[in-house]
Amino acid sequence: MSVRVMHGAKAAGELLLLPLFLILVFGVCLPWLTVRRALGRRQSKPKIIWGPTPIINISTNAAADRLYGYQSDTLVYRPYFITADFTYNLERWWRYPPLALVIPWAVFLWAVLRYDIFHLYFDGGFLNRTLGKPLELPLLKLLGKKIIVSAYGGDVRVERITRTLGEYNCCMDCTQRLVACICDDNLARRNLAHVQRYADSTLSMGDMTEYTPGSRNDLFYWAIDLKKWPFVGVSLSSSPVKVLHAPNHPQFKGTRYLEACIKQLQDEGYPVQLVLVTGLGNEEAKEVYTQADIMADQFLIGWHGNFAVEAMALGKPVVAYIRKPEVYLPHGVECPIVNANPGTLRQALVTLIENPTLRYELGVKGRQYVEQVFSLERVGARMDRLYRQLEGDSAPVGGGVR
């Protein structure tokens, strides 16, 4: 069966499902939730659902919620290779086309009856990739749900804005337009306007704030479980010095600049080795990370990734390009990431290669930084304040990273 025929069959099936779906929303869900609210029948704390974008952070963020007494679950349709650690992973059912057609609609109905706060990403919610996508946020609002929409990167980055950010940006080497990022400016504008019309709060970090004006940049919502990422530190006598880089998208991370730089340093006689990590699950990758001396994140995007958070948790020095550190980074705490772009990368690496004590000290500071900013306890506390505010608590959400 051709792709065109399959898409046609899917669209036809959804046209049949949509009326039934709306009947259930307005005939069952809305009356039930209205009566339940009128009777005051709800637990002391709202229930939270994260999804369906299958990034690892939704699992750790849900764990952070649970520390503060929330029932917080995650649901994905199909996980990436990095992790399958989600409360509800529907991949086994998604493999069957008839079920895959029904699942998003059924998940939405189930979720609105069960959860109070929906934490989604800019690339869509549970009805994403269905005819019901434009209806999801309006229906959630109608049903009395709180909506938080966060950015993770590719869901908000567009070419026009990216190319205005400076000499080094993630479009300069891109050959896969519309593959890893939203790219299209008109589409992104419409999506942002739609999200901000219905969402109770929108969250961004780092360079993602450039694409989401009006979003918060003080919650730093990449939680990490430090019990699973214990401090390892670095050796003071490594030779060669291992520079580790884990590029899931090499052309956006500036991988070619790092490779050229390492080759140049080797030719100059520096004892350095590049270790590339690709295609490994999170637990497997962690084992490799522990052996590294320097962690190289990205040199084009202008903001560090979750990789840098994991690296700092292990006590490894991190090199990454932070375009506007005074704007992007949290205030009141020192970030020990060595800031370098392709033009300054060589000197940054030379300094670290020649100074093992500096590598160790930066690793210690990195661990402390993650404890202050990205630990389950700190992220959970910030999210708890946000949830309470959305529920009508007058307590401010601000306070930097505390």
**Are 128 and 162 part of one and the same domain?**
yes
Would 113 be classed as within a structural domain? yes
Site of tokens 């306070």: 399
308: pLDDT strictly greater than 50: yes
Would 38 be classed as within a structural domain? yes
**Are 163 and 263 part of one and the same domain?**
no
Percentage of the residues of the chain whose pLDDT score is greater than 70: 95
**Are 39 and 188 part of one and the same domain?**
yes
160: pLDDT strictly greater than 70: yes
Would 386 be classed as within a structural domain? no
Structural domain boundaries, residue 248: 241-374
42: pLDDT strictly greater than 70: no
Q: Got the DSSP string for 291-356?
A: T-SEEE--SSSSS--HHHHHHHHTT--EEE--S-HHHHSPTTS----EE--TTTHHHHHHHHHH-H
69: pLDDT strictly greater than 60: yes
395: pLDDT strictly greater than 80: no
Mean pLDDT for the chain overall: 92
What average pLDDT does the segment 166-191 reach?
84
Would 139 be classed as within a structural domain? yes
Higher pLDDT, 199 or 183: 199
Would 388 be classed as within a structural domain? no
Q: Which pair of tokens denotes residue 363?
A: 């690793």
**Are 98 and 161 part of one and the same domain?**
yes
**Are 340 and 255 part of one and the same domain?**
yes
Taking 3-state DSSP, the helix, strand and coil percentages for the chain, each rounded to the nearest 5, stand at 45, 10, 45
Per residue in 207-218, pLDDT tens?
999 999 999 999
**Are 199 and 287 part of one and the same domain?**
no
Q: What is the CATH number of the domain that holds 269?
A: 3.40.50.2000
Instruction: State which of 193, 223, 253 marks the end of a domain.
Output: 223
pLDDT of residue 402: 61
Percentage of the residues of the chain whose pLDDT score is greater than 90: 78
Distance CA 301, CA 21 (A): 41
**Are 183 and 329 part of one and the same domain?**
no
Per residue in 233-253, pLDDT tens?
999 998 999 999 999 888 889
**Are 54 and 186 part of one and the same domain?**
yes
pLDDT of residue 1: 47
Strands 88-89 and 117-121 come out as: unpaired
Distance CA 233, CA 144 (A): 48
Which pLDDT band, with edges at 50, 70 and 90, does 399 fall under? very low
**Are 298 and 171 part of one and the same domain?**
no
**Are 52 and 95 part of one and the same domain?**
yes
Would 128 be classed as within a structural domain? yes
Q: CA–CA distance from 211 to each of 41, 148, 153, 184 (Å)? A: 40, 17, 10, 12
Which pLDDT band, with edges at 50, 70 and 90, does 183 fall under? confident
Would 395 be classed as within a structural domain? no
Q: What are phi and psi of 280, to 5 degrees?
A: -100, 145
What average pLDDT does the segment 191-209 reach?
97
What average pLDDT does the segment 373-394 reach?
94
311: pLDDT strictly greater than 70: yes
Tell me if residue 52 falls in helix, strand or coil.
coil
pLDDT of residue 246: 95
Least Cα distance to 170 among 246, 252, 249, 256 occurs for 252
**Are 19 and 159 part of one and the same domain?**
yes
Per residue in 100-144, pLDDT tens?
899 999 999 999 999 999 999 999 999 998 999 999 999 999 999
Which pLDDT band, with edges at 50, 70 and 90, does 47 fall under? very high
362: pLDDT strictly greater than 90: yes
Q: Which pair of tokens denotes residue 260?
A: 């050229």
**Are 260 and 219 part of one and the same domain?**
no
Would 154 be classed as within a structural domain? yes
Which pLDDT band, with edges at 50, 70 and 90, does 356 fall under? very high
7: pLDDT strictly greater than 80: no
Q: What are phi and psi of 219, to 5 degrees?
A: -105, -20
Q: Say how many domains are in the chain.
A: 2
